[in-house]
Amino acid sequence: MDPVLSVQGVTVRFGDHLALNQADLSLAANETLAVLGPSGSGKSTLLRAIAGLEPLAAGRIESLGVDLASFPTHRRGLGLMFQDATLFPHRDVLGNVMFGLTMKGEKRGQSIGRAQAALELVGMEKFADRSVSDLSGGEAQRVALARALAPEPKLLMLDEPFGALDRPRREELNEELRSLCQRLPTAVLLVTHDHTEAFALGDRVMVLREGKVEQTATPTDLWRNPASPFVAEFLGWNVTHDAHGRVAAIRPDSITLTCELATDQERATVVARTFRKNHWRIRVETASRQILEVEIANSNSDRTLGAGGEGLAIGQSVGVVIDPGAAISFSELPLKP
């Protein structure tokens, strides 16, 4: 079957600036793809281009084998949701969710039923008659999600949907979104700058950098095998540069610190330590002046380190052991012209 979405060599320019540079992606029905990248990497531009809101300088966008070029936004079979809900203030909750259905020319009776079903999906069925101005931020985002889902789009596109909410609310909504994505037959394209969120929600994750697709992989493959120093660093790996211009990446949870220094071990000094619920994050500076971030699981029973890092003091000397299976050496960086 043709993919629900196929993006081929899509380029978007703003003047001289290439906001999207030959982007490719393919999305199957029922699949969730998380688009991950720093601010300004082109994530929103990609979604807007797919929605038909930005003209393409090059490339092609297809859905189920059909070129979307001549289809306006509302005929592309999309559900869209952005960081700010922007609900219609003069309509109640149900009226907001019915909006897309009415636009499609659906009969009022049928629209009401479908809008109520969409509100149920997001746990907001009791709010149907409420004014949207009374809603909390999280409730408003649920209503916006119901509005995007009500017309049963083939593809749901979410741009940092819960980015404006506080962390507990955001985690709760992400959890619900994940279960929704699994239950619904809809393909989902989700934009985020947070790799934890991308890993939790994406069946696959696509990393964007300055408008280019840097890597697309499942969360586990991406975490184990970042394809470039950029991806590695963005995911929180240690990226080191030696005097010969060689670049290596070392996964933070693959480094062991030892208190008993063997002669062949690299030595380092503890420069910082932070407690993070299930692990300690320890920063050390090695004898060769590399800074390494090390994650030590809190359940660590290694007596020499006390309870997973608590026993380490700033300024303390430690030995550094790196699991060779969790270190990647990248070829030398191309010389700048």
Q: Could you list the residues that contact ligand ADP (CB under 6 A)?
A: 14, 17, 19, 37, 39-45
Cα separation, 31 vs 29, whole angstroms: 5
Per partner kind, with CB cut-offs from 5 to 8 A, the member of ligand ADP, Mg ion, none near residue 40 is ligand ADP
Cα separation, 148 vs 157, whole angstroms: 9
CA count, 13 A, side-chain hemisphere, 283: 8
Per partner kind, with CB cut-offs from 5 to 8 A, the member of ligand ADP, Mg ion, none near residue 45 is ligand ADP
Q: Which residue has the tokens 């109520």?
A: 116
- Given the complex with ligand ADP, which of 37 and 151 has the nearer CB atom? 37
> Can you read off the two tokens belonging to residue 239?
């990226």
**According to the binding rule CB under 5 A, does residue 240 interact with Mg ion?**
no
Per partner kind, with CB cut-offs from 5 to 8 A, the member of Mg ion, ligand ADP, none near residue 96 is none
- Given the complex with Mg ion, which of 192 and 215 has the nearer CB atom? 192
Closest distance between Mg ion and the C-beta of residue 86, in Å?
15
- Given the complex with Mg ion, which of 114 and 170 has the nearer CB atom? 170
Per partner kind, with CB cut-offs from 5 to 8 A, the member of ligand ADP, Mg ion, none near residue 42 is ligand ADP
Residue 58, strand partner residues: 11
Q: x/- string (CB under 5 A) for Mg ion, residues 15-44?
A: ----------------------------xx
- Given the complex with Mg ion, which of 43 and 170 has the nearer CB atom? 43
- Given the complex with ligand ADP, which of 39 and 220 has the nearer CB atom? 39
Closest distance between ligand ADP and the C-beta of residue 217, in Å?
19
Q: What is the 3-state secondary structure (H, E, C) of 28-93?
A: CCCCEEEEECCCCCCHHHHHHHHCCCCCCCEEEEEECCEECCCCCHHHCCEEEECCCCCCCCCCEH
- Given the complex with ligand ADP, which of 44 and 240 has the nearer CB atom? 44
Closest distance between ligand ADP and the C-beta of residue 54, in Å?
8
Please calculate the CA angle 174-179-180 and round it to the nearest 5 degrees. Answer: 90
Please provide the distance, in angstroms rounded to a whole number, between the alpha carbons at the two ends of the chain: 45
Per partner kind, with CB cut-offs from 5 to 8 A, the member of ligand ADP, Mg ion, none near residue 14 is ligand ADP
H or E element in which residue 170 lies = helix 167-183
Size of the site for Mg ion (CB under 5 A): 2
Cα separation, 125 vs 336, whole angstroms: 58
Distance from CA of residue 98 to its chain's centroid?
A: 29
Closest distance between Mg ion and the C-beta of residue 126, in Å?
32
Closest distance between ligand ADP and the C-beta of residue 38, in Å?
7
Ramachandran angles phi, psi of 108, nearest 5°: -55, -45
Phi-psi map region of 167: left, alpha, beta (phi>0 left; psi -120 to 50 alpha): alpha
> Can you read off the two tokens belonging to residue 30?
């029922």
- Given the complex with ligand ADP, which of 59 and 306 has the nearer CB atom? 59
- Given the complex with ligand ADP, which of 55 and 105 has the nearer CB atom? 55
> Can you read off the two tokens belonging to residue 295?
């994650």
Closest distance between ligand ADP and the C-beta of residue 72, in Å?
19
Nearest residue to Mg ion, by Cβ distance, number only: 44
Closest distance between ligand ADP and the C-beta of residue 263, in Å?
48
- Identity at 235, one-letter amino acid code: L
DSSP state of 171: H
Closest distance between ligand ADP and the C-beta of residue 229, in Å?
20
Per partner kind, with CB cut-offs from 5 to 8 A, the member of Mg ion, ligand ADP, none near residue 251 is none
Residue 158 burial (CB count, 10 A): 27
The footprint of Mg ion (CB under 5 A) covers 43-44
